Amino acid sequence: MTAPSPVALCDYLVSLRTEIERELAAMLPGAPACPATIADAMRYSLFAGGKRFRPILTLAAADAVSPDAATTRALAMPAACAIEMIHTYSLIHDDLPAMDNDTMRRGKPTLHVVYGEGMAILAGDALLTEAFALLARLPADAGDGVMALRKLAAINRIAEAAGAIGMVGGQAIDLLAAGHAADASAMDAAGLRDMHARKTGALIRASAVAGAIMADGSPEQIGAVDQYATGLGLAFQIVDDVLDVVGDGGALGKTVGKDAAANKPTYPAMFGLDRSKRLAREAADAAVGALAGVHLQGGRLAEIARWVVSRTS
């Protein structure tokens, strides 16, 4: 791998987040193309803040496999924005009374608190659907079918990650497991890892892989990015579990202690805080190790893995 860019990681992340925010605003439909109420509801949650971690990962993976960052970022940007729409839809639905019943998200009242449950469900449905419309529409194919094939590969990976074998399946496991964390027979360590691999890890993996695909990464590069994102997704979720115990609600922008109150299976509940932190570091190490020996053009993937385990929000 080439040496890291001299630009500080925080500046790199801010730069990508700024690009993503601009493109999201341009790509999301609004009135009069759609009713103003649903447009406002979608924007309320989509632009409520957040790290934009998943779309940043899409662009960072594109940077890592291509020497021409400007061109490949443009090719990967629609996938990055679509993934953020999908992630936001999942948060809207997770917060509903029938699911996690949360009233704060990204430092603001959750969507169903402001717009009502029915409109929150519709806004989530709309964001999910618009994401796939965007993936199918952009970037435009030059007529040779090459871009169409890349988009199909990215769409396939993202759809699997978002659906029943991925995020939706993980949420179903989580919903069934809630209230049984103290029951050792309800979920073992393998079951907990599987739930997180579906609920959180699948979309993180798809985010990185979609970026590598859209940047025309080689099979070897795409495979390495996928393996990297597997470790990264696990580290990210373990840190989320830890922050629910020790994090600051103001910094996190959401209610803390909800997992324990709901008796949900989490890494701290199963392994304790110290071992959970160690497991997060080991997962991040595995992510970085997956990149070793693979020819990448640069990028900041290894640094992002280190940042994930050190974050406080």
Q: What is the pLDDT of residues 204-261, one digit of tens each?
A: 999 999 999 999 999 999 999 999 999 999 999 999 999 999 877 555 555 666 666 5
Question: Which amino acid, one-letter code, is at 205?
Answer: R
Q: Return d(Cα 92, Cα 146) in angstroms, integer.
A: 35
Q: What contacts 303, CB < 8 A, 6 or more positions away?
A: 4, 9
Q: What Rg do the C-alpha atoms of the chain give, in angstroms?
A: 19
Tell me: the pLDDT tens digits for 52-87?
A: 999 999 999 999 999 888 899 999 999 999 999 999
Residue 299 has a CB neighbour count (10 Å cut-off) of 26
CA 258/CA 183 separation, integer angstroms: 18
In the predicted model, what is the mean pLDDT of residues 257-276?
84
Check residue 110 and give left, alpha or beta (phi > 0: left; psi -120 to 50: alpha).
Answer: beta
With contact defined as beta carbons under 8 Å apart, do 198 and 169 qualify? yes
Between the alpha carbon of residue 268 and those of residues 184, 234, 255, the distances in Å are 14, 14, 17
Longest Cα separation, the chain: 58
Give the per-residue pLDDT at 41. Answer: 98
Domain boundaries defined on the chain: 9-310
Query: Cα–Cα–Cα angle for 95, 101, 107, nearest 5°?
Result: 55
Cα(63)–Cα(132) distance, rounded to whole angstroms? 23
Residue 2 scores a pLDDT above 60: no
pLDDT at 6 over 80: no
Listed range (1-5, 13-17, 199-203) with the worst mean pLDDT: 1-5
- Checking if the pLDDT of 21 tops 50, the result is yes
Is the pLDDT at 51 greater than 90? The verdict is: yes
Give yes or no for residue 175 having a pLDDT over 70. Answer: yes
Residue type, 138: L
Mean pLDDT to the nearest integer, 181-206? 85
Q: Evaluate if residue 284 carries a pLDDT over 90.
A: yes
Indicate whether 182 pLDDT > 70.
Answer: no
| Exposure string over 50-88, b if 16+ CB within 10 A, otherwise e | bebbbbbbbbbbbbbbbeebeebbbbbbbbbbbbbbbbb
In sign, the C-alpha dihedral spanning 141, 143, 147, 152 is positive
The CATH code of domain 9-310 reads 1.10.600.10
- Token digits for 4? 């890291």
